[in-house]
Amino acid sequence: MRDWLKKLREKNEFSQEDMAEKLGVVQGYYSMIENGERQKKLDLSIAIKLSEILGVSVEYIVEQEKRKEEAV
């Protein structure tokens, strides 16, 4: 699960539906991304789009993903 992604989404007051629309995917697909079910590692294109939508750097997203991997 990507708790960091959920927290950022909620901080920006976006629903999963909002995020899906902004990413150009269906809500179910976004939910799987957020829950770590669809992609164990984020694609760079998704990471870039997330950084733009959520107002953080791509480096921040990469660091969060790295921390998640190290915790496993």
Residue 23, domain extent: 3-71
The two structure tokens encoding residue 29: 């697909």
More confident residue, 4 or 42: 4
Question: Three-class SS of residue 39?
Answer: coil
Count of the separate structural domains present in the chain: 1
Region of residue 23 (left: phi > 0; alpha: psi -120 to 50; beta: else): alpha
Whichever domain contains 50, its CATH number is 1.10.260.40
Tens-place pLDDT, residues 49-70: 999 999 999 999 999 988 876 6
The whole model's pTM is what? 0.83
